Amino acid sequence: MVTDREIALEQALVAIIGAAIASGLDVKGLMDNAAAGLLGNASYRWVGHPHVSNALQVMIDAYDQAADTAPVQ
């Protein structure tokens, strides 16, 4: 069962990515850097596998959701 916190965290991630897209930022580059950091033990990674793989999938899903709802520029 999904918790309220999980829903809130996912919504926050989609909102941040959506705002970055709307601002014209290089969101794909940011996502690539974040993914590389998770895979490469960056200072902001504190979980092990399978959580890293799950986090990467959540990032991809959140990007897809934000990109689908972002206004066309």
For residues 51 and 5, the answer to whether their CB atoms sit within 8 Å is no
Q: What local confidence, expressed as pLDDT, does residue 73 receive?
A: 60
Rounded to two decimals, the pTM is 0.87
The amino acid sitting at 14 is V
Cβ neighbours around 5 below 10 Å, total: 8
Give the three-state DSSP class for 20.
Answer: helix
For residues 65 and 14, the answer to whether their CB atoms sit within 8 Å is yes
Question: Any residues with CB less than 8 A from the CB of 50 and at least 6 apart, and which?
Answer: none
Q: Where are the domains of the chain?
A: 4-69
Mean pLDDT split into 10-residue runs, the chain, 73 residues: 96 98 96 98 95 97 94 65
